[in-house]
Amino acid sequence: MRRGFAGLFGRGLFLEALFNPRGKQRGGIVWILDEESRGLSEEPFNANPVLAGYAVGWIRTEGIEDFRRNRSSLTSALGGVGDRLIWGLLRPLAVVASLIATVVSPIAAAAALLLVYNPAEIYLRWRSLRQGLEGRAAILRDLSRDGLLAHAPRMARLFALLIGALAGSWFVGHIASGRYFEGAAGAVVSTCGWLFLRRRALGFWRLPLVAFVLGLAWFAVEIVRAMTIASGR
């Protein structure tokens, strides 16, 4: 049975259900395409699951044999682009938006997380399949710097803005409450975080490192505050 766009897209949402350490996403690809995947070798296929639509489209438009010849390069491209956009930018962006929304309520925090992450992921799944079904030229064009990666600088700037808002509200709130030591510590940590983000040499580790530094500083400040409260009793 040759499925249309809706059928392929719907099945693609369950790609990870058939993930296994040996074949990776191969089982999911076979299930999505059904009889169209006959001839797919036993070699594993691993890529970012959100962008697996490019692989599905490649198999349908270019054929199994062509896909097998280009599998390694396609795997590298999908992993590199997907990891940078989704794991490196979109997920941290959603988490920071959720943390900022906690000042309203826990429900607002959950809603912010879902509203930032889910529509973007669904769009990327839709786009990868749509472009994949256009053929090799559309796939390569979309995986280039002028395609999906063109959104990375905008997402990085938005992430830096939200990190600044989160850190700023943290130390400004402490200062307004009369906790000047905590406020000063927050200002120092925010500055360090900004410097880490500015250093290109740190590459992919910039965002996790900033999150670690912020978390470590928050933990240290809370310990100092607890010790201060205990000593005052």
**30 Cβ contact list (under 8 Å, min separation 6):** 37, 40
Q: What is the pLDDT of residue 201?
A: 44
Q: Which residue has better confidence, 113 or 181?
A: 113
Nearest to 131 by CA among 144, 140, 121, 118: 140
Question: Using CA atoms, how far apart are residues 89 and 155, in angstroms rounded to an integer?
Answer: 7
Give percent of the chain above pLDDT 90: 8
Give the mean pLDDT of 19-31.
82
Q: Which residue has better confidence, 106 or 187?
A: 106
Question: Using CA atoms, how far apart are residues 77 and 46, in angstroms rounded to an integer?
Answer: 11
| Residues, the chain | 233
Q: Which residue has better confidence, 165 or 61?
A: 61
Most confident of 8-17, 158-167, 172-181, 194-203: 8-17
Q: Is the pLDDT of residue 204 over 60?
A: no
- Poorest-pLDDT segment among 34-38, 137-141, 190-194, 219-223: 190-194
Q: Is the pLDDT of residue 46 over 60?
A: yes
Q: Is the pLDDT of residue 74 over 80?
A: yes
Domain boundaries, the chain: 146-233
Per the prediction, the chain carries an average pLDDT of 78
Give tens-digit pLDDT for 109-144.
899 889 989 999 999 999 999 998 988 888 888 888
Question: Using CA atoms, how far apart are residues 93 and 116, in angstroms rounded to an integer?
Answer: 8
